[in-house]
Structure 1
Amino acid sequence: MMPFLVTMRWHRPDGRRWRLHVPVLPVLLVLSPLLLLAVMGGLVACLATRVSPAGALRGTGQLLWALPGTRFEIEQGRTAVLVSVR
């Protein structure tokens, strides 16, 4: 299942908390021209290193489909960042 929403929360050292919700589909549509260039660059890199493009694409798809439910938590001193993929 494709992720629908990425939520980012962070605590600043001064005690303020911020939250940002990013919908994946509209961002993907806006950045689709860059995504096409990235896929073309990946294809060239696969051919240059003799890696199967189909295998690389399959691995990338499996990684993206495994993202929903993932949480990244980073804490450095008094600053904390949480990224949650739904």
Structure 2
Amino acid sequence: MIPQLVTVGYRRSGGRRRRIHLPVLPVALLLSPLLLLAVLGGLVACAVFRIAPMGALRGTGSVLWALPGTFFEVEEGSMAFLVSVR
């Protein structure tokens, strides 16, 4: 299952927490022109480094498929940053 929602949260030194919820599909649609350039750049990189494009695509798909349920948090002193993928 592809990710549906990414939650990014951070805590400032004052202790206030902020969370931003980003739906993946609308953001992907807005950034689709850049995504097309990234795919073309990936194909050029595959040709330069002699990597099978289908193998690279399969590996990228596997990483994206495994993202739901990922939770990443970094805390340093009074600052905190977290990313949650659902």
Name the SS of the counterpart of 1:73 in structure 2. strand
Name the SS of the counterpart of 2:45 in structure 1. helix
> Partner amino acid for 1:56?
A
> Partner amino acid for 1:10?
Y
Q: What CA distance in whole angstroms lies between the structure 2 residues aligned with 1:81 and 1:30?
A: 25
TM-score between the two structures when normalised by the length of structure 1: 0.98
Partner of 1:62: 62
* Percent of residue pairs bearing the same amino acid type: 67
Q: What CA distance in whole angstroms lies between the structure 2 residues aligned with 1:43 and 1:9?
A: 34
TM-score between the two structures when normalised by the length of structure 2: 0.98
Runs of 4+ with >4 A deviation: none
Residues 2-81 of structure 1 aligned to structure 2 (within 5 Å): 2-81=2-81
Return 5+ residue gaps in structure 1 as ranges.
none
Shift of 1:83: 0.5
Shift of 1:81: 0.9
RMSD: 0.5
Number of residue pairs matched?
A: 86
Q: What CA distance in whole angstroms lies between the structure 2 residues aligned with 1:68 and 1:2?
A: 7
Return 5+ residue gaps in structure 2 as ranges.
none
Shift of 1:10: 1.1
Q: What CA distance in whole angstroms lies between the structure 2 residues aligned with 1:13 and 1:41?
A: 39
> Partner amino acid for 2:33?
P
Cα deviation, 1:22-75, whole Å, max 9, x if unaligned, reads 000000000000000000000000001101110000000000000000001011
Name the SS of the counterpart of 2:14 in structure 1. coil
